[in-house]
């Protein structure tokens, strides 16, 4: 099979792929409300001739086509979208799915419905053309990506493919990893008093100031490709609402991006040591990871710790080199390799021992912005890329 065959297949089905992607955009799927979209994707997989398609208890849609005796490959994308904000700021409305100027417009077009549409069709077109992949191929459309990976945490606990292709916008170039993210909460407890008699209080603001300044000087984990770990103080809350009362308790949120080589546990240990070194006063301090109770549209629930591991693949990893060679051949051009600035669900699969590679149509800068859009040509090229990876990666050993 030569590269032009995959190109020809994708081009011959261009209108179907575009129509499918537009329908995905027209179906709102805020986190926790992915049910209607999940049903739509399931029905599409059934109609497109997948060997098997189901919705698991977390609400993820899993499609499967059988391949040869090679290794299994998972194509992974997410169903959920972030809130579109003020609908008046969207030229065509947030869920228009309009086709204009060579783009599909609407919330989710780039993040992540273009990737999802391309994956669903890539596998279906191989099947329709009678092209058998080297190994079994799965497509997972997961829930809850935008608020801590509920669906992928569930998936990673029950399913271990030999390779996962993480579909998030990368403009059809490769991604070999990203930093993780930990949301830490530091609580500083002093003693409240009337602001006119500060001597009677233990004002936690002073320890807070020491902590914030110490954070700026903290020597962070170094990693040249991702730029290394970073930490930023973000939300600050006081237990008081009056300006003439000294607070008894302050709560500070820290957004810690952990570079490859630093696990969430490593980061927490470093932060605990910093607290112990810096806060020797009368304030009682504690450190925790933000945990949210999350319920999916199916009723599946879990306490989600906001601590995501990085995923990482070395530059000379045989799987990465093979994926690059396959893509370059199928797309007929150079395919660069980079890292993502944001994190993805790849961290959960990687953490469960699944090698991950990132690839997807769409401009990463289009994620989470007004007038989000996806270039149609990129969508079609993405289908070709996923077809090549689904077809051949099962023959590569890691
Ligand atoms: Zn995304």
Torsion of CA 363, 364, 366, 372, to 10 degrees: 70
Amino acid 397: pLDDT? 82
For residue 190, the CA-to-ligand 1 centroid distance in Å is 41
For residue 306, the CA-to-ligand 1 centroid distance in Å is 16
Amino acid 29: pLDDT? 98
> Where does 122-198 show beta strands of DSSP type E?
137-142, 163-166, 174-178, 181-189, 193-194
What end-to-end distance do the CA atoms of the chain give, in Å? 23
For the chain, 398 residues long, the average pLDDT of each consecutive 10-residue run is 84 98 98 98 98 98 97 98 96 97 98 98 97 97 95 96 98 97 97 97 97 96 95 97 97 97 95 94 94 97 94 96 98 97 94 97 92 98 98 91
For residue 206, the CA-to-ligand 1 centroid distance in Å is 39
**Tokens (6 digits) for 276:** 């112990």
For residue 165, the CA-to-ligand 1 centroid distance in Å is 13
Amino acid 274: pLDDT? 97
Can you tell me the distance from the alpha carbon of 267 to that of 259, in angstroms, rounded to the nearest whole number?
Answer: 10
Amino acid 4: pLDDT? 84
User: Which residues lie at CB < 5 A from ion ligand 1?
Assistant: 111-112, 168
Sign of CA pseudo-dihedral 294, 297, 301, 307: negative
């Amino acid at each position: 099979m030569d590269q032009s065959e995959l190109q020809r297949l994708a081009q011959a089905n261009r209108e179907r792929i575009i129509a499918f992607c537009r329908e995905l955009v027209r179906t709102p799927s805020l986190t926790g409300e992915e049910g209607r979209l999940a049903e739509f994707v399931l029905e599409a997989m059934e109609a497109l001739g997948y060997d098997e398609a189901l919705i698991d208890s977390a609400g993820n849609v899993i499609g499967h086509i059988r391949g040869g005796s090679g290794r299994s490959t998972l194509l992974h994308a997410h169903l959920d979208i972030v809130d579109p904000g003020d609908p008046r700021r969207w030229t065509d409305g947030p869920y228009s799915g309009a086709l204009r100027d060579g783009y599909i417009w609407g919330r989710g077009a780039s993040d992540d419905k273009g990737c999802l549409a391309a994956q669903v069709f890539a596998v279906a077109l191989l099947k329709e053309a009678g092209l058998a992949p080297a190994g079994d191929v799965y497509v997972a459309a997961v829930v809850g990506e935008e608020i801590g990976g509920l669906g992928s945490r569930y998936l990673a606990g029950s399913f271990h493919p030999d390779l996962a292709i993480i579909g998030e916008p990368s403009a059809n170039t490769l991604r070999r990893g990203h930093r993780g993210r930990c949301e830490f909460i530091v609580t500083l407890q002093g003693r409240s008093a009337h602001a006119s008699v500060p001597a009677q209080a233990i004002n936690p603001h002073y320890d807070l100031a020491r902590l914030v300044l110490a954070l700026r000087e903290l020597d962070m984990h170094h990693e040249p490709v991702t730029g290394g770990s970073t930490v930023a103080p973000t939300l600050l809350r006081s237990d008081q609402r009056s300006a003439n009362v000294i607070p008894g308790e302050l709560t500070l949120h820290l957004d810690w991006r952990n570079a490859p080589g630093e696990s969430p546990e490593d980061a927490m240990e470093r932060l605990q040591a910093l607290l112990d070194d810096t806060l020797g006063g009368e304030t009682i301090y504690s450190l925790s990871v933000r945990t949210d109770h999350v319920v999916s549209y199916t009723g599946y629930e879990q306490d989600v710790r906001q601590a995501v591991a990085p995923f990482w693949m070395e530059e000379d990893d045989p799987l990465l080199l093979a994926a690059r060679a396959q893509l370059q051949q199928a797309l007929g051009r150079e395919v660069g390799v980079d890292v993502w600035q944001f994190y993805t669900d790849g961290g959960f699969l990687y953490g469960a021992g699944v090698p991950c590679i990132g690839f997807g149509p769409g401009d990463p800068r289009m994620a989470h912005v007004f007038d989000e859009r996806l270039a149609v040509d990129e969508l079609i090229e993405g289908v070709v890329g996923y077809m090549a990876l689904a077809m051949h990666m099962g023959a590569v050993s890691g």
